[in-house]
Amino acid sequence: MNQELLAKSMAYAENNFLSNTARHLHVDKAFIKQHFNLKGKRVLDFGCGMGGMTLWLAQNGSCCEIMGLDIDGHHIAIANQLKSKHKIENVQFEKRDITTHPLPPQYEGSFDAIFLNDVVEHIPYPILEKIFAEFKRILTPKGRIFVSYPPWQSPYASHVVRVTKLPWCQFLPEGILLNWIEKKNQVITGEHESDLVAAYKGLNRLTHEQLMHIVRPQGFAIAQRLSHSLLRKLPILRGLNPNIFPFHFLISKELLILEKQVL
């Protein structure tokens, strides 16, 4: 990774850590503050990326122990630099693929909370199924999972609107969109996904229904759901159900808390 990209990535991750108003995270942070008391808990930040949210959780939740896992070595390297810079002790970052290298037995039933912030839409469905099966094993009986992601029909789900400047561009014919992204392509930090084309191709086109299809067979049910919608910006439409057609196209992010279903 070149020095310029490293510095840019560090600045991005640091802003995710320190700012409560960082545009794509302020809703998540407010929701987490409202619904989680992490004091003294053991927490997993799965797909922690460059660690900004992990450090925020560690500092704001006063959790006794937080682990940030990611399959991407570049992201973990930046997360560790940020941890050292801010001298946050209660966090451990690790590069690990839990589908091939599950956490050792001492972690069984040990995590009170697992966070997946902007992660589930990046993972192929069969792998996501394996990951949720692993969560079932490592979560405490009353443990909870926080999931946030932009559902596929949402305006920014393509993850490339910053270059196309066109919300919902994922619905353009595939060839046209790919051509467009290739022309505007940019190098990004990932070890696996190192440019915008790879990042776009890595998306699994996740919808709420599809996610439920994956998590329910693993015994998880929704305890909380917030469909964060652009409808809130239009006072006369604010009271409408954001999940019905065609308003569901205005949901910018789904935020969920999943719990193990009591049978």
Ligand X SMILES: C[S@@+](CC[C@H](N)C(=O)[O-])C[C@H]1O[C@@H](n2cnc3c(N)ncnc32)[C@H](O)[C@@H]1O
Give the DSSP letter string of 144-166: EEEEEE--TTSTTTTS-HHHH--
DSSP 8-state assignment for residue 100: T
Site pattern 5..34 for ligand X (x: CB under 6 A): -----------x------------------
Is residue 80 near ligand X by the rule CB under 6 A? no
- Angstrom distance (rounded) from CA 63 to CA 70: 20
Binder of ligand X out of 32, 43, 53, 138 (CB under 6 A): 53
Residue of closest CB approach to ligand X: 49
Which residue in the block uniquely carries the two structure tokens 């196209």?
249
Binder of ligand X out of 14, 112, 118, 254 (CB under 6 A): 118
DSSP 8-state assignment for residue 218: G
- Write down the least CB distance from residue 25 to ligand X, Å: 7
Residue number with CB closer to ligand X (117 or 154)? 117
Strand, coil or helix: 68: strand
- Write down the least CB distance from residue 254 to ligand X, Å: 14
- For residue 123, give both structure tokens: 């993972």
Which residue in the block uniquely carries the two structure tokens 């440019």?
195
Q: Residue 246: is the preceding peptide bond cis (ω within 30°)? A: yes
In one-letter notation, the amino acid at residue 36 is F
Which residue(s) pair with 204 in the sheet?
none
- Write down the least CB distance from residue 149 to ligand X, Å: 9
Is residue 72 near ligand X by the rule CB under 6 A? yes
- For residue 148, give both structure tokens: 């946030």
Is residue 47 near ligand X by the rule CB under 6 A? yes
Is residue 71 near ligand X by the rule CB under 6 A? yes
- Write down the least CB distance from residue 147 to ligand X, Å: 11
Is residue 254 near ligand X by the rule CB under 6 A? no
Which residues would be at the binding site for ligand X (CB under 6 A)? 16, 47-49, 52-53, 69-72, 75, 97, 117-119, 122-123, 127
